[in-house]
Amino acid sequence: MKVGKWLCCLVIGLLLAGCGLESGSAVPLRVGPGSIRPVPELKGVTITVGSKDFTEQNILGYLIEFAMSAAGANVRDLTNIQGSNSLRDAQLHGQIDVAYDYTGTGWVNYLGKEQPVPDEVGQFEALRDADLAAHDMAWTVMAPMNNTYALVTSKRTAEETGVATLSDYAALIAKDPSAAATCVGTEFNVRPDGYPGMAAKYGIDTGKVSKQIVQDALVYQATADAKQCRFGSVAATDGRIPALGLVLLTDDRSFFPKYNAALVMRDDFHRAHPQVAALMTPITKLLTNPVITELNRKVDVDGQEPADVARDWMIEQGFVTKG
């Protein structure tokens, strides 16, 4: 191994170890078999599950953990890792065996592609083939849920302005910029797949936009109140959207990349344990936008714990029983 590559691996290994990513911890809640029965090939196999550090990702990580636990695997919990790149590095270097990630993140962030594929299935298939060839990473099954960027407004503002699509929003800015005051998150404000790219796609004169840059978490309430801003940037599956009565604007020119959640693992792990993807397929297929939005709402609005929400849903669907 070349010295530069060796040093890079050493640094990444030390960083992961410093973050407590060497072995993980025990699954926070117990489950028993439901429709997921013990799988002889997975009995005693150590499977480390990871996720990023936000509500939806933690829920998705726990879904994997409970499914693998019911199947008889020795599951280790490495959820709540800070940032996409850290999760990706942990997977590439073997600290994490399986996780849900997003097709748009894989295509744009990990593979460095500038142009997303507009079709959800096409985006998944292009990412699956390219990441396997370049990095031996296996994207195995995609969920219907699409946690893409979006703009929202309150029902009252939608009724007053008649804005239902991003084309309507662009027309309102051209006609009366003050009527389209917009709150945007810091990252959305600068990302090419955020406001700059959206403005270019829809012919928005950014010099006319009445725009405020705020923390992502503050956008939801500020838009619902319609005092500070009448429109706001959000993640499309956030539970605060229905809880606050916000309305998603239709991306009628299909600008925003698709961010479908998909199960990803190293190809050697996938080939050694094909049962993992097989067990997760029926679970993944049920993860629609309404389903994951409601699960997110229970955490972000009702204050429940992500592990409790994930296990309760798995029990409701019959996949597992309470341990």
- Measured from the Cβ of residue 34, the count of other Cβ atoms closer than 10 Å reads 17
Residue scoring higher pLDDT (274 or 215): 274
Q: How confident is the model at residue 172 (pLDDT cuts 50, 70, 90)?
A: very high
The domains of the chain, with CATH numbers, are: 19-147+259-322 (3.40.190.10), 149-248 (3.40.190.120)
Q: Decide: 201 and 258 in contact? Cβ < 8 Å.
A: no
The pLDDT of residue 6 = 38
Residue 13 pLDDT level (bands cut at 50, 70, 90): very low
pLDDT of residue 118: 87
For the stretch 237-276, pLDDT in tens is 999 999 999 999 999 999 999 999 999 999 999 999 999 9
Q: Exposure string (b/e) for 110-141, b if CB count within 10 Å is 16 or more?
A: beebeebbeebeebbebbbebbeeebebbbbb
Which of 120, 180, 192 lies closest to 152, judged by CA? 180
Report yes or no: 232 and 184 within 8 Å, Cβ to Cβ.
Answer: yes
pLDDT tens, 276-310?
999 999 999 999 999 999 999 999 999 999 999 99
Q: Lowest-confidence range among 19-33, 121-135, 265-279?
A: 19-33
Q: What is the pLDDT of residue 9?
A: 40
Above 50 in pLDDT, residue 79? yes
How confident is the model over 48-63, as pLDDT tens digits?
A: 999 999 999 999 999 9
Query: Quick one: pLDDT at residue 114?
Result: 82
Secondary element (H or E) of residue 278: helix 275-285
